[in-house]
Copies of this chain bind each other. A is one copy, B any other.
């Protein structure tokens, strides 16, 4: 597997693949790779001829006071993992390569990007939409792969890609979980052993919401109960628990259309998010 660090080298490599008629898959990541990322790499390898994994901790999607400086980084280990799977290229640019002096343009998704995560992390989705637009346009793959664990992010990226007519298919892969239900996340590394034991309560609370709503229960009431259960389990703060239409992201009154329940909560210094199909 080759490693490139500039947009020019990335394009040369992908141009070479194109010249040989290969289809191209892109798997954007912030590194600290876990089985969730690796499942997307496998999906890309299965669906395309050539797979490029990107590794970039994007400063624009961290707000002031967030964990940019402490976000887990281990490029050597990441490189070994994706190389072992058979990925063909790793693109690991510097912040200067992605945002040269004078870079100013922002891509935002008002509405969808202002809710839930957007309420609690006001710069987050503009940072995500901007960097993903750049990565898609740098590589111009046939398909790019994102995890359902970040479900609202997936919708923001689908919306942005469609709205800007970026000629790339957005594909998604299911959330990968530990045996006890905790969704894999690079930020799980922040949990102490005691917090790690508490953490699966988030997933359990979402399962209960999904079951109650499927059984005809009121979504808002079920989410409120779930918030209580998450706090009782030992989380310090719940940012939200909400049931939303899976496509429009509007609040739901019942389970008549495909929908998701989504949550974010603080446990020690980790802010954990999770979501589930209802």
Interface flag for A224 (CB, 8 Å): no
Q: Are A105 and B138 in touch, CB under 8 angstroms?
A: no
Q: How many chain copies does the complex carry?
A: 2
Q: Given A104-B109, A106-B110, A108-B108, answer yes or no on A138-B163 (Cβ-Cβ < 8 Å).
A: no
Which residues in chain A, 128-171, are within 8 Å of chain B measured between CB atoms? 129-130, 133-134, 137-138, 140, 159-160, 162-167
CB 8 Å contact bits of A232-246 with B (1 = contact, 0 = none): 000000000000000
The complex places the Cα of A167 from the Cα of B166 at a distance, in Å, of 12
Interface flag for A103 (CB, 8 Å): yes
Give the chain B neighbours of A138 by CB distance below 8 A: 165
Give the chain B neighbours of A164 by CB distance below 8 A: 105, 107, 130, 133-134, 137
Interface flag for A270 (CB, 8 Å): no
The complex places the Cα of A113 from the Cα of B106 at a distance, in Å, of 11
Which residues in chain A, 71-118, are within 8 Å of chain B measured between CB atoms? 102-113
Q: Are A140 and B167 in touch, CB under 8 angstroms?
A: yes
20 residue pairs A–B, Cβ–Cβ below 8 Å:
A7-B165, A11-B167, A103-B162, A103-B163, A104-B111, A104-B112, A104-B163, A105-B107, A105-B108, A105-B109, A105-B159, A105-B164, A106-B108, A107-B107, A107-B164, A108-B108, A134-B163, A134-B165, A137-B164, A137-B165
Further contacts, 5 of them, CB under 8 A, given A104-B113, A133-B164:
A102-B159, A104-B163, A105-B108, A105-B159, A134-B165
